[in-house]
Amino acid sequence: MVNEAETRWALEYNGYERFAGGSSGSDALRRLLQPAMREYEATGRVPDWCGVDLLRAWAFYRQREHHMDGVSPMARDWDAVLDAIRRHPAATAWDLPPTAVGEEERGEPSAGDAVETARSAALPLTLGHVLAAVGADHAPPIGLDDILVIRHAFKPSGHVGLQGPEDVTEGRLHDYTRSQDISTRKFPAEPPRYWVILVADGKSRSRLFGVYENHGEQLEEKTETNRFWDLRRVDFLRSLEDRLVVDWTSPRSWYRWGPSAATLPVLEIADRDAIEFPGFDRVLLRWHELEELVGDSRYAAWRAALSEVQGIYLITDSSTGKQYVGKADGAERLIGRWSAYAKNGHGGNVALRELAKAAREAGTTLDGAAEDHARHFVFSILRVFGPSTPPSEVDAAESHFKSALMTRTWGLNRN
């Protein structure tokens, strides 16, 4: 029988918002949980492939179901789900349900446990389960035939597409995806309405970046080699972005129609936990991470810390080794100064704007993206000052580091 403490704990995690897009997402959440629930019914065990987020959504759903019914007892998988969360190595203190009363000591798994584990492997969660569950709750519904799944992989240095994780930015992914080969043997002549974009995440792992809605080919942009599409980001699968990981075992095929992609196994629905601020002397951010810092709720502690101090910072171009020493003083603070870099890649600095111009003229940017030169930038902090530190002291420290690192002679400082 569920107790009041477990009820309060279950409601701390809103599964509708995390997985189903809002308070009306009960049916979508149920469909998403069905593979795990069916596996429990078949084996009597919570599937090993369930991550903490999925388990918490399961507990939330069962509590809401029990509350709305008001008569029937809690579903028989309730205790097993809570126990799976307690056992899960990724569970944080916030995730753990109230301690069970009278819980027995757990010994080594038995031979019967091993058999049940083997049986559970036969019923994996697939991308099709996820697409069907979320798509059915969309207005109008999105079916598998409405979907094209694209997997972007990184290419060698010098390629104008995606060279590494630093290129996984909103602008670059959009521009890279909307440009396709003119040959219909390489890309469909009439692609469907929704493009689900995955990015390679090591070996056969592919992580969800987001979904674009196709508003048609831009015929006026067509060239002898490429076609271009009007793609616009949509909220479909938004709650699973950067969390959903599938196993893409056929790298030769870089896109699949929805019904074909439906069989791809889901390896993980990762938790999106807050990222702890490491301390000013341990900050090391690539530019695409700086973009996330400015707008992602996981970096709230970082933004709070950086908004409290003035400081001297260092930008290193990892492709050349050249460095730039800058300062953030007055009311701007570090978070204000770095937000400018996240927006355009140069923050108004003369030498960095020159890099952007040179990249465009050399043709090494993607569609002339103004911030493309910044994808190799790494940000760190050399020294911090309290908010009341006089400007003269901050200026003196900036000048010192420019001289010590010789960034006026060999780097990117112009004064």
Encode pLDDT of 144-190 as tens digits.
Answer: 999 999 999 887 655 566 777 777 888 888 998 999 999 988 899 99
Residue carrying the six token digits 């603070």: 333
Report the distance separating Cα 135 and Cα 213, nearest Å. 13
Residue of 27, 45, 138 lying closest to 83 (CA atoms): 45
Query: Same domain, yes or no, for 132 and 164?
Result: yes
Query: Same domain, yes or no, for 228 and 318?
Result: no
Q: Quick check: is 221 in a domain? A: yes
Query: Same domain, yes or no, for 94 and 203?
Result: no
DSSP letter (8 states) at residue 165: G
C-beta of residue 197 within 8 angstroms of C-beta of residue 152: yes
Q: Quick check: is 96 in a domain? A: yes
Query: Same domain, yes or no, for 379 and 286?
Result: yes
What single-letter amino acid sits at 26? Answer: S
Residue ending a domain, choose from 120, 154, 189: 120
Tokens of 129: 């389960």
Query: Same domain, yes or no, for 101 and 152?
Result: no
Residue of 297, 305, 301, 291 lying closest to 335 (CA atoms): 305
Query: Same domain, yes or no, for 359 and 249?
Result: no
Residue of 39, 185, 194, 178 lying closest to 119 (CA atoms): 39
Residue ending a domain, choose from 120, 146, 177: 120
Query: Same domain, yes or no, for 322 and 298?
Result: yes
Query: Same domain, yes or no, for 44 and 80?
Result: yes
What single-letter amino acid sits at 328? Answer: A
pLDDT at position 270, please? 73
DSSP letter (8 states) at residue 3: -
Residue ending a domain, choose from 72, 98, 120: 120
Report the distance separating Cα 330 and Cα 192, nearest Å. 51
Query: Is the model's pLDDT at 125 over the cut of 70?
Result: yes
Domain that holds residue 233: 127-269
Tokens of 272: 């999106």
Q: Given pLDDT bands bounded at 50, 70 and 90, which one contains residue 115?
A: very low
Domain count for the chain, please give it. Answer: 3
Instruction: Average the pLDDT over each of 19-23, 185-189, 328-332 and give the range with the smallest value.
Output: 19-23
Report the distance separating Cα 34 and Cα 158, nearest Å. 45
